[in-house]
A and B are shown apart, each in its own frame.
Chain A
Amino acid sequence: MKMQPTRAKPEHSRITHHRTVGFGYLAISLSAVAAGTVLSLAMRLHLAWPGWSLPLHGPILPEEYLALVTMHGTLMLFFVLTVAPQNGFGNLILPAQIGASRMAFPRLNLLSMAVTAVALFVLFSAFIVPGGAPISGWTAYPPLSTSSLAGPGQGWGMDAWLASIALFSIGSTLAAVNTLTTIVKLRCDGMTWERLPLTVWSWFTAALLSVIAFSVLLAALLLLFCDRHLGTAFFLPHTEWMNGVLRQHGGDGSPLLWLHLFWFFGHPEVYIAILPGMGLTSMVIANFARRRVFAYRLMIATTLLIGLLGIVVWGHHMFVAGLNPFAGSAFALSSMAIAIPATAEVLSWLAMVWRSRPQLTTAMVFALGFVSLFVAGGLTGPILAQPVLDEYLHNTFFVVGHFHLIMAMAGVFGLFCATYYWFPLMFGRALSERIGKVHFWGTIVFAYSTFLPMHFTGLAGEPRHYAQLTGIPGPTGTLLAATMPLQRHITVSALCLGLAQLPFLLNLLLSVLRPVRTTKNLWNATTMEWAPKTDKLPAAYRGPCHYSQDGNEFAPQWEEPSSTADGGA
């Protein structure tokens, strides 16, 4: 049975409106990305110049460095890359794109956003609790994460982290249920599954993954809480000797169980972060190249396939964790397999761009930048998926470079693409294209300049999570000190990458001070969110991306076919 999406339906109050919730999510992400960026720059400055003293604070201690790493990763992965593409833009754009006037459960929607906001406050509170923020990284491996004996920040700070991520899991699961229900139930007349834009397909796939992944994470967090406070030993062996204290537990568990549960969540999580960007890139390239998305049904299939495979590859994070080596071979196979649907997506993007003379708007160049970064970061994926190579590369900066290119930078380029593309719909005004281009070039140049050299320091042997690379005795000191020239280059590039965001802020500011108002279909787009407001019920008459051969004419999804025009997909 299909719920009837009608404009006549009584509007919910403004605070449960999906746009309000969407902006709320974006505000959460903006505060998280600002904080996370500052933390990363402090880390980089400390690594390159260990004597550097943080203003109003002093030199950064080793445990403070690890707290910065942990909070940076947690903020960026959860509160930026999961929240903004999936729930921020999901709420702002998704209903209109399927011809609906609202999300399926408006009050639940507001609740999930509020829970996520509380989660962010709880996470920030880790900075001010006794002992400070946790030091065990965003992966929180036990036993390090199970006891305050293991180090500063592992007491109150770790509890705050646990509470925050548990709340976040609840919020994300609820939001995903809402997204799925909206897509399944509220599509307007004529919006068949095949006519859904690829953005909707990727939100749909990411929401499916969210439901599966975050519910498992929530369970794992509860078990970890029990290990910390209720004397259980799900993730702990029977006896441990920690920091001079002999600890005995009732049970006899294994830290490897946490690794399995965490990465069962963790790998789908990174696809939740990147899938919306992939869908948007497809649609934006098609829009400005004035071409149909190449191999549309194959693109739908690959989106779903990437999601499906994403559930069965978690073991590639554990090649050297102490698994049976046969398990390594199995996870290597499933991980390598992801290269195939991912390659299919890239081929489709290339085919669309090829000799299309696209209109190089800022949104378009960010989509092309997404392709570039996605491939640059993606090509090292199959390398890390080979257990024998991971034996050398695991937990080095090669991995840090890899996931910052494909997840962080490509993810952020997806977000910028979305911002420039949908800004007229969000605020009724357009961003400056000229400043946008400056923003793009600065960002892509310094993104590469920051994250490509990390592959080299990793190949040279630099491990992750090292609070200091100088002043270490023995051959280790020699090995690490050899990376220092590149470390300084990376830090300077990272600072420039930060500065390269000033044009974006200027652009936002100018849109407030000197607004260029626009409400019309600025990009000649074909998808439903650009349909002019009418009193009629929205209906879709064809699939997206119908353009004439020369690209000058187009048939949007909402336009009723004239007697001579094409009937659509």
Chain B
Amino acid sequence: MQQSSAGVSYFWHLPANASAHGLALDNHLKLNLWIAFSLLALLHVLLMVGLIARRRAIRPVHKLTLEYIPLIAFTALFGTLAFQAQRLWALERYTGADPGAMQVEVTGMQFAWYFRYPGADGTFGNTSLSLIAPGEGNPVGLDPKDSYGRDDIVSSQLVLPADHEVDLALRAVDVIHGFAIPELRLKQNAVPGQAVHVHFTPTAPGTYAILCTQVCGSGHYRMQATLRVLSQAEFDAWLSAEERKAHDAAVGAGR
């Protein structure tokens, strides 16, 4: 129905979408909002007219007309919306990421997000909560004895290539955190004791806000990070630079 024109987005205050699944979500959201808005207006018109119009004796109206037919119409309307929402939800969440998707691990702690890339070997090293030492440059608790971890890149920024699917594994070390990127229409809680996966494809290069959306303590409001979506070439350059840094650091630390 409503195609995403700038004016409509502005009316609903939605930030511009930058993800592959976001366009369909936005269209469905705006359709829902317009329907809600119209029904609210309709109710008030009916209330006002009903209040102002001359009194009419109650006529023996059948419940069918006033109650059941509108109910069936509303059921059909809400059913259609639910069906479309279910279709989008299933597309997005029912299956895991493509095997070729890029793997990134996200760790939430009071009050920061850390992002870990598996490095050149494509495998994450072991981590342990007992090894966490943000002050000593090991905020996610990388195990120095695990060789897979030597090339792992840990960053306080999430950097992703455009148009490439990403599989995020969300972890939290202390309390529940909410991982949210409004411009990518993405939100998923990170729960201590389990890893939760979400996958998505960023489309528009740019810089985006990453928020915490589950109250996590006094610093909740400042638990934020930046997502940088780069072109594939820029991303490759960033990744190899980071890999070199990680390698040098590991050598320097005698790992």
**Is residue B145 within 8 Å, beta carbon to beta carbon, of the partner chain?**
no
* Residues from chain B with Cβ under 8 Å of A351 in the complex: 61, 66-67
* Residues from chain B with Cβ under 8 Å of A472 in the complex: 221-222, 224
A window 434-478: CB within 8 A of B: 456-457, 459-461, 463-469, 472-476, 478
In the bound complex, how far is the Cα of B218 from the Cα of A152, in angstroms?
Answer: 8
Contact status B46-A354, CB under 8 Å:
yes
* Residues from chain A with Cβ under 8 Å of B40 in the complex: 375-376, 379
In the bound complex, how far is the Cα of B95 from the Cα of A69, in angstroms?
Answer: 38
Contact of A294 with B67 at beta-carbon distance under 8 Å, contacts A135-B218, A246-B130, A476-B224 already known: yes
Contact of A295 with B226 at beta-carbon distance under 8 Å, contacts A255-B192, A320-B187, A392-B187 already known: no
**Is residue B220 within 8 Å, beta carbon to beta carbon, of the partner chain?**
yes
Most buried by B among A150, A380, A386, A457: A386
* Residues from chain A with Cβ under 8 Å of B93 in the complex: 325, 328, 387
Contact status B71-A344, CB under 8 Å:
yes
Contact status B186-A391, CB under 8 Å:
yes
Contact status A240-B192, CB under 8 Å:
yes
Contact status B36-A379, CB under 8 Å:
yes
Per-position contact with B for A340-378: 1 when CB-CB < 8 Å, else 0? 100110111011011111101000000010011001100
**Is residue A15 within 8 Å, beta carbon to beta carbon, of the partner chain?**
no
CB distance from B90 to the nearest CB of A (A): 7
**Is residue A389 within 8 Å, beta carbon to beta carbon, of the partner chain?**
yes
**Is residue B166 within 8 Å, beta carbon to beta carbon, of the partner chain?**
no
Contact stretch, chosen from A109-117, A136-144, A172-180? A136-144
Q: Categorize the interface residue count of chain B.
A: 35 or more
**Is residue A256 within 8 Å, beta carbon to beta carbon, of the partner chain?**
yes
Contact status A466-B25, CB under 8 Å:
no
Contact status B174-A143, CB under 8 Å:
yes
In the bound complex, how far is the Cα of B51 from the Cα of A358, in angstroms?
Answer: 7
**Chain A interfacial residues counted at CB < 8 A:** 101
In the bound complex, how far is the Cα of B12 from the Cα of A141, in angstroms?
Answer: 31
Contact status A372-B44, CB under 8 Å:
yes
Contact stretch, chosen from A203-211, A329-337, A523-531? A329-337
In the bound complex, how far is the Cα of B213 from the Cα of A246, in angstroms?
Answer: 24
Contact status B32-A389, CB under 8 Å:
yes
Residue on A nearest B191 in the bound complex, by CB: A322
B window 155-182: CB within 8 A of A: 173-176, 178, 180, 182
In the bound complex, how far is the Cα of B174 from the Cα of A151, in angstroms?
Answer: 11
In the bound complex, how far is the Cα of B174 from the Cα of A295, in angstroms?
Answer: 53
Residue on B nearest A389 in the bound complex, by CB: B29
Residue on A nearest B109 in the bound complex, by CB: A241
**Is residue A542 within 8 Å, beta carbon to beta carbon, of the partner chain?**
no
Contact status A243-B85, CB under 8 Å:
no
In the bound complex, how far is the Cα of B180 from the Cα of A339, in angstroms?
Answer: 28
**Is residue B58 within 8 Å, beta carbon to beta carbon, of the partner chain?**
yes
Complex A-B: 6 CB contacts under 8 Å? A252-B193, A354-B50, A380-B36, A389-B29, A395-B178, A474-B226
Known A241-B109, A479-B211; further 12 A-B contacts with Cβ < 8 A: A62-B221, A151-B217, A236-B192, A237-B192, A241-B174, A295-B63, A354-B46, A379-B40, A392-B185, A394-B187, A461-B15, A475-B208
